[in-house]
Amino acid sequence: MSTAQTPVKPSTGKLVIAWALVGVPLAYGVSETLTRVAALFG
Amino acid sequence: MGWLDRERTIAPPGFNRWLVPPAALAVHLCIGQAYATSVYKTALVKHFGASLTEIGVIFSIAIVMLGLSAAIMGTWVDKNGPRKAMFTSAVFWASGFLIGSLGIFSGQLWLVYLGYGFIGGIGLGIGYISPVSTLIKWFPDRPGLATGMAIMGFGGGALIASPVSTALLKMYDPNSGAKGWVANGDSVGKLFLTLAVVYLAYMMFGAFTIKVPAEGWKPAGFDPAKVKTATLVTADNVSARNAVKTRQFWLVWIVLFCNVTAGIGILEQAAPMIQDFFRQPDGVSLVSAGVASGFVGLLSIGNMSGRFAWSATSDVTGRKRIYMLFLGVGAVLYTVLALAGSTTTVLYVALAFVIISFYGGGFATVPAYLRDLFGTFQVGAIHGRLLTAWSAAGIAGPLIVNAFLDAQGKPGQLTAESYQPALLTMVGLLVIGFIANLLVKPVDARFHEPRPDRVRSEEPALEA
């Protein structure tokens, strides 16, 4: 409990890493799918 | 294992709440792999010498276990907090792949049923609901946006797993360059081992990043009184045990069931359906297999983006109104699809895209709807119980569509007209869902948990 009460300084770096860890694979998946979708309009 | 306890995950002052959505996404992106099983389905059929149905059972067991474990474990998840739940989910999900790989290497299909289906399915259910109530508590000002972000991950997981799995299968199989190549069993086993390790690591990142807000925490500038402007949004709490006794729970259950059943109807048949809609009198379709595959990809994008966009929009419109859109406009679009969908491919694709975005939106918006009706107290557990509607729809949707199509003719001979009975049945279901949604009213005060300033006098009975 005591550690949970210690204030922390908001870290932008941590936030960027956390979002990159999920955002990069997701962007890769979307881009791969869009390549497949191109056949629909090609 | 005390480090997994809820008390150890309470956020310190200054914690940035925007670290919570990526933690939730990490779990949902992993368990979303469940929708990418088609990548190795043919390989497993060949490896085990089994039928497509026998291999399909693996996925069916996993989805049934998802619904059951979410319903049964919901209260446990709410009580023990998201870190323990995500950790448990990660262990079950990774173990499912490990045992599944053992089954593949040893040629024992029952081990794949037990591993990926049964054990992995438990991981799916716990993982799906694990971040929901935490997100709602961190984002009381935008619960739809928060849950939409996480549940979008479940749709996005398949988009990642599908190309990654294909690439890994090609890497593990020395014959991958051969014409008409189907991956061998050994490479699928190695794929399962790889996925077990990667998913375990990713889900652990989620488990150890997530934190719950301290008691009484609220975002800067947030005024709870402003949220309570709509009549359906309660400031009270209802326990999971009492929620299932209310009419509202079952009305929302019907809403979700109808919305999911209708969406699955299109999703299950997506590729052959577009080809059948544009089949010429000579039996040849104007839509090639490659284009149909592109259409399936587009639907995946619609499903994923609908989860985020519609759920976030519901924070502005209100939950009841957005479901009126999903179900009401959905019914109109389905009717146009059934009667005029074969006019042009552009119209067909546009209609299907919007319909599938409503399907995804229905999934992602429902936790916020439950929060509005039942409060935040046990919203994760209530959500878990509600997901039985998904399991039921997973059986009903394909059953309805396949039964109608079987009566219309054989695959490869079907046309747009063959789909009309099935699609118009879905319209009927959406109308039922629309009426159920209209009937949703605030939960009676007798179901509310006692507040410190008032005492509940009796145990509520089943609502009339």
**What is the model's pTM?**
0.88
Helix (H, G, I), strand (E, B) or coil at B279: strand
Distance from CA of A7 to the nearest CA of B (A): 5
AA identity, residue B307? R
With a pLDDT cut of 70, the percent of chain B lying above it is 96
- Of B376, B141, B135, nearest in space to B235 by CA: B376
Which residues partner with B173 through β-bridges? none
Kind plus residue range of the DSSP H or E element containing A8? none
Q: b/e for B122-132, b at 16 or more Cβ within 10 A?
A: bbbbbbbbbbb
CB proximity A3 to B under 8 Å: yes
With a pLDDT cut of 70, the percent of chain A lying above it is 79
Helix (H, G, I), strand (E, B) or coil at B448: strand
- Of B267, B197, B269, nearest in space to B414 by CA: B269
Where residue B364 falls among pLDDT bands split at 50, 70, 90?
A: very high
Q: Which residues of A touch B209 (CB under 8 A)?
A: 18
Residue B420 CB-density burial (10 A; 0-12 exposed, 13-18 middle, 19+ buried): middle
Residues B241, B417: contact at Cβ < 8 Å? no
Cβ pair B160:A19 closer than 8 A: no
Separation of alpha carbons B369 and B361, rounded Å: 12
Q: Which residues of B touch A32 (CB under 8 A)?
A: 159, 162-163
Residue B464 pLDDT greater than 80, yes or no: no
Separation of alpha carbons B267 and B271, rounded Å: 8
AA identity, residue B175? N
CB proximity B300 to A under 8 Å: yes
Which residues 10-39 of B have a C-beta within 8 angstroms of A?
10-16, 18-19, 22-23, 25-26, 29
**The residue count for chain A:** 42
Q: Name, in order, each residue with C-beta under 8 angstroms of B401's C-beta and a sequence gap of 6 or more.
A: B265, B268, B269, B422
Mean pLDDT of B308-325: 95
Of A4, A11, A21, the CB nearest to B22: A21
Where residue A17 falls among pLDDT bands split at 50, 70, 90?
A: very high
Of A28, A32, A36, the CB nearest to B293: A36
Residues B445, B236: contact at Cβ < 8 Å? yes
Separation of alpha carbons B67 and B312, rounded Å: 25
CB proximity B205 to A under 8 Å: yes
Separation of alpha carbons B31 and B152, rounded Å: 12
Q: b/e for A26-40, b at 16 or more Cβ within 10 A?
A: beebbebbeebbebb
ipTM for the predicted complex comes to 0.86
- Of B125, B391, B353, B150, nearest in space to B257 by CA: B391
Cβ pair B12:A29 closer than 8 A: no
CB proximity B217 to A under 8 Å: no
Mean pLDDT of chain B: 90
Where residue B307 falls among pLDDT bands split at 50, 70, 90?
A: very high
Helix-strand-coil percent breakdown of chain A, rounded to 5? 80, 0, 20
Choose between B463 and B51: higher pLDDT.
Answer: B51
pLDDT of residue B228: 59
The per-residue pLDDT for range B153-162, each reduced to its tens digit, is: 998 998 999 8
**Closest Cα in chain B to A25:** B160
Place of tokens 């390989």: B43
Side-chain-facing half-sphere of B439: CA atoms under 13 Å: 16
Separation of alpha carbons B143 and B367, rounded Å: 8
Cβ pair A6:B298 closer than 8 A: no
pLDDT of residue B63: 85
Distance from CA of A31 to the nearest CA of B (A): 9
The per-residue pLDDT for range B270-301, each reduced to its tens digit, is: 888 898 999 888 888 888 888 888 888 889 89
CB proximity A31 to B under 8 Å: no
Which residues 150-169 of B have a C-beta within 8 angstroms of A?
153, 156, 158-163
The per-residue pLDDT for range B420-429, each reduced to its tens digit, is: 999 999 999 9
Mean pLDDT of B47-67: 88
Residue B285 sits at φ, ψ, to 5 deg, of -90, 145
Cβ pair A29:B214 closer than 8 A: no
Separation of alpha carbons B359 and B261, rounded Å: 9
Q: How many CB atoms lie within 10 A of CB B55?
A: 21
pLDDT of residue B147: 92
Residues B30, B201: contact at Cβ < 8 Å? no
DSSP label of B32:
G
pLDDT of residue A4: 46
Q: Name, in order, each residue with C-beta under 8 angstroms of B40's C-beta and a sequence gap of 6 or more.
A: B165, B169, B183, B188, B191
